[in-house]
């Protein structure tokens, strides 16, 4: 395997960043994840747009043009022989003597890219069985719209989920409303049969998969509302699912141990998964 580190491809096992990289010391960086279908990036433009926005919000310089980035991402896919997989990109503010404030003069941002294959058939078989989520109190900062590498609350939430046999943890705010998952957006088909996912005015990541799926849903003519839902509404929903570059559209069949509907994968979630993958290919 090969990783891209600051301008060149190196063996994955030898790939390293400096100990004073601000990403390493301060989580001062952003990232993106793309699904790869048939060797091609899914939802490429949506992820690029969000990457530039995350960098701009944190006043980190763009490390390269979009055209150059596309070339490097394609090369990462090619060198790692990825047909079905994931590409990870991270940009930190760069390497400088430790100081919370930005380095002055500015240093070049540090870029790391990895690409790996996934076993789509195995994932598909797993998704067809349905998965569990748990809920945890929302304890993140107020800028979850920026895709930063500061993921400790997400990591702790995901670990709590894993320890309880769940694939995802949903953050729940003070009003009892689900914000989003540790690494995905949260959806239900409510008791009235309406698709529901939280609006992006809230403190959540503007999921690229979420946005594409909203378009898929509009094309399919299904009723949908960008409206938050409570944990209680999720428990009494007809269906639930999560979306993200890693999970695509993954059906959820229980929330905090409570079965959703009859506890099997619902027709809407499985149809939307198929439609999303068809669109991404």
Pick the piece of the chain touching ligand PDD (CB under 6 A) from 61-69, 76-84, 192-200, 207-215.
Answer: 207-215
Termini Cα distance of the chain: 24
* Cβ burial, residue 51 (10 Å; 0-12/13-18/19+): buried
Preceding omega of 105 cis (within 30 degrees of 0): yes
> Is residue 23 at the binding interface for ligand PDD, with CB under 6 A as the rule?
no
Question: For ligand PDD, which stretch binds (CB under 6 A), given 64-72, 94-102, 183-191, 261-269?
Answer: 183-191
Under the binding rule (CB under 6 A), the answer on residue 179 touching ligand PDD is: no
Judged by CB under 6 A, the residue of 210, 239, 240, 280 near ligand PDD is 210
Interface positions, 238-257, toward ligand PDD (CB under 6 A): 243-246
DSSP state, 280? H
Residues 152-171 that bind ligand PDD (CB under 6 A): none
Using rule CB under 6 A, residue 54 touches ligand PDD: no
208 lies in the binding site for ligand PDD (CB under 6 A):
yes
Q: Catalytic: 129?
A: no
Q: Smallest distance, Å, CB 98 to ligand PDD? A: 26
DSSP 102: P
CB of 177 to ligand PDD, least distance (A): 15
**Of 63, 94, 153, 207, the one binding ligand PDD by CB under 6 A:** 207
CA nearest neighbour of 144 among 83, 54, 256, 249: 54
Distance CA 141, CA 27 (A): 13
SS3 at position 159 = helix
CA-to-CA separations, 58 to 35, 101, 109, 110, 160, in angstroms, rounded: 25, 12, 12, 14, 30
**Active-site positions?**
147
> Which residues make up the interface to ligand PDD (CB under 6 A)?
33, 180, 183-185, 205, 207-210, 243-246
């Amino acid at each position: 395997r090969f990783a891209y580190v600051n301008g060149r491809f190196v063996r994955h096992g030898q790939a390293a960043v400096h100990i004073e990289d601000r990403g390493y010391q301060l989580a001062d960086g952003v990232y993106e994840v793309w699904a790869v279908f048939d060797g091609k990036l899914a939802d490429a433009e949506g992820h690029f747009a969000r990457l530039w926005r995350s960098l701009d919000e944190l006043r980190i310089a763009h490390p390269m043009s979009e055209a150059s980035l596309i070339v490097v991402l394609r090369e990462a896919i090619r060198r790692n022989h990825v047909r079905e997989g994931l590409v990870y990109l991270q940009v930190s503010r760069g390497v400088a003597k430790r100081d919370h404030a930005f380095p002055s003069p500015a240093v070049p941002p540090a870029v790391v890219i990895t690409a790996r294959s996934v076993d789509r058939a195995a994932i598909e078989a797993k998704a067809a069985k349905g998965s569990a989520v748990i809920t945890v109190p929302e304890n993140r900062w107020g800028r979850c719209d920026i895709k930063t590498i500061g993921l400790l609350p997400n990591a702790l939430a995901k670990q709590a989920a894993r320890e309880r046999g769940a694939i995802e943890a949903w953050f729940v705010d003070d009003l009892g409303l689900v914000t989003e998952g540790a690494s995905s957006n949260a959806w239900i088909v409510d008791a009235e049969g309406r698709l529901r996912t939280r609006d992006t005015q809230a403190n959540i990541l503007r999921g690229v998969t979420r946005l594409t799926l909203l378009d898929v849903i509009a094309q399919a003519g299904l009723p949908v509302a960008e409206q938050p839902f409570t944990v209680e509404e999720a428990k009494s929903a007809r269906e639930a699912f999560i979306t993200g570059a890693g999970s695509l559209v993954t059906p959820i069949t229980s929330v905090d141990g409570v079965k959703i509907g009859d506890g099997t994968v619902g027709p809407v979630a499985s149809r939307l998964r198929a439609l999303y993958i068809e669109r991404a290919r």
